[in-house]
Amino acid sequence: MPSFDQIVPLLEQQAIELPSWAFGNSGTRFKVFTQPGVPRDPEEKIADAAKVNEFTGLAPTVALHIPWDKVDDYDKLAGYAADHGVALGTINANTFQDDDYKFGSLAHHDSAVRSKALDHMYECIEIMNATGSRDLKIWLADGTNYPGQGDLRRRQDWLADSLQKVYDRIGDDQRLILEYKFFEPSFYHTDVPDWGTAYAQTLALGDRAKVCLDTGHHAPGTNIEFIVAQLLRLGKLGSFDFNSRFYADDDLIVGAADPFQLFRILHEVISNGGYGTDSDVAFMLDQCHNLEPKIPGQIRSVLTVSEMTARALLVDREALAEAQTAGDVLGANQVLMDAFYTDVRADLADWRVSRGLPADPMAAYTKSGYAEQIVAERIGGSQAGWGA
C-alpha cells in the first residue's frame, strides 16, 4: 500500500465544484423547510460557497444555475467570486420550471417549445462566454407520466435534433454535458433515463459532448462504478454530480448512505484516468440540504470526497492486479478493503494544516461566527430556492 506521503501530490490535484443551489432552500413536494441566513442572490450564494473553500481548500469553483443565478453583469459576478477566492464554473441550464415545459423542452413534440428551450440554451452559452465557463450541463426533466402520452421514439429524434443545435453553438473549448436520470419528475418515461441514452446521444454529437453521471440517478442495484469505468473507457465521462441516496434521487450528502460505494467509484475513476489535473472529468456536488445547515453540509461533503479519494489512492494497485490475475478472489477483495478501512482522517488533518488550512474545517467554520453573521445580516429580501 502506498504511504500517505506518496498520495499527497495527487490529493493536491483535487478540486470539487459546488452547486450554487445547495446554499438555497430546498425540500420535497411535501414541504420546504426554510433556514435563516439563506442567500437571497447569486452573490450571497457565492460568498457561502467561498466559505467552504476557505475552510477546506478543496472547492475552488461554483456552478451556476440559469435562470436562478441570472445577473446583469457576469464580469462583475466573476470579479465578486474572484474577490472571495473562487471562480465561476459549470453553467446549468434549466428548462423545467416554465409552464411551457409541462410536456418537455428539448424533446417536446411542439417545435415552438423546443425553440424556446433552445433559446435558453443559447443564452446559457452566452453566459458561459461571459464567465469563461467550460461546461454547459444539461439535465432535462423531459418525459411523460402515462403510457401513450408521448411518442418515445420521436421524442428521442427531437432531442437529438435539439442537442445538435446546441452543440453547434458551443465553442471549441467548451463542452456539452448531458445528464441522465432514471425517473422524476416524470414517472412513466424519461427521455434521457440511462447512461446508454446519454452515450448514444452524445456520441452522435462529437468529442466535446460528454455524459454527466449523477450518483443518485440509477435504478436500485445498479453497479455505478461499472458505468464509471465504461464511460471512461469510451471517452465519454464528462462530470460527476456527487450525492447519495437510499432509495430514489434523495440528494443527500455524498457518502452518507454508502461510503464504500463512493470509495469504489473513486477507485474506478483513479484506475481509469479520470482523476487529477490531466483528466478533464469534473467533480461536482449536487445535493439538497433539506434538514441540515447548508454550509456545514457542503463542508462535510467535500471532506468526505477528499477522504474517500485518499482511501482510493491508497489502493495497492500492483497487489490488486496480481491477485486478480491469480484468481485470488479473497486476496483481491482484501486489497480494496485494506485501503477502504484505513483511517486517513488524522493524516488529512495534518495535510490541511500543512496547507494553511484548519485541521478540523467543521469546527473552524462553527467557531468562525459566519453562520450567526449571515443570519443576522440577511434580513428581508427573498431567500433563494428552487423556484427562483
By CB under 8 A, tell whether 173 contacts a copy of itself.
no
CB of 372 to a copy of itself, least distance (A): 16
By CB under 8 A, tell whether 375 contacts a copy of itself.
no
Q: Helix and strand tally (H, E) in the chain?
A: 14, 10
CB of 344 to a copy of itself, least distance (A): 9
Q: How far is CA 161 from CA 36, 51, 114, 164, 239, in A?
A: 44, 41, 10, 5, 23
Quick one: 79 or 185, whose CB is closer to a copy of itself? Answer: 185
By CB under 8 A, tell whether 239 contacts a copy of itself.
no
Write the CB contacts of 85 (distance below 8 Å, at least 6 apart in sequence).
50, 53, 54, 60
Quick one: 60 or 241, whose CB is closer to a copy of itself? Answer: 241
By CB under 8 A, tell whether 200 contacts a copy of itself.
yes
C-alpha cell at 164: 445538435
By CB under 8 A, tell whether 285 contacts a copy of itself.
no
Answer yes or no: are the C-beta atoms of 257 and 250 closer than 8 Å. Answer: yes
Judged by DSSP in three states, 16 sits in: strand
By CB under 8 A, tell whether 157 contacts a copy of itself.
yes
By CB under 8 A, tell whether 152 contacts a copy of itself.
yes
Answer yes or no: are the C-beta atoms of 267 and 228 closer than 8 Å. Answer: no
Quick one: 189 or 378, whose CB is closer to a copy of itself? Answer: 189
Given 129, 230, 279, 368, the residue binding a copy of itself (CB under 8 A): 230
Quick one: 6 or 28, whose CB is closer to a copy of itself? Answer: 28
Report d(CA 95, CA 107) in Å as an integer.
11
Range 220-228 contact pairs with CB under 8 angstroms and sequence separation of 24 or more: 220/247, 224/261, 224/265, 225/261, 225/264, 225/265, 225/267, 225/268, 226/268, 227/195, 228/265, 228/268, 228/269, 228/272, 228/274
By CB under 8 A, tell whether 363 contacts a copy of itself.
no
Quick one: 73 or 280, whose CB is closer to a copy of itself? Answer: 280
Site for a copy of itself in 57-96 (CB under 8 A): 96
Given 187, 206, 318, 381, the residue binding a copy of itself (CB under 8 A): 187
Report d(CA 82, CA 61) in Å as an integer.
10
Query: How many C-beta atoms lie closer than 10 Å to residue 31's C-beta?
Result: 8
By CB under 8 A, tell whether 185 contacts a copy of itself.
yes
By CB under 8 A, tell whether 226 contacts a copy of itself.
yes
Given 189, 349, 359, 370, the residue binding a copy of itself (CB under 8 A): 189
From residue 314 to residue 353, the character string flagging contacts with a copy of itself as x (rule: CB under 8 A) and all else as - is: ------xx-xxx-x-xx-xxxxxx--xxxx-x--------
Answer yes or no: are the C-beta atoms of 107 and 160 closer than 8 Å. Answer: no
By CB under 8 A, tell whether 170 contacts a copy of itself.
no
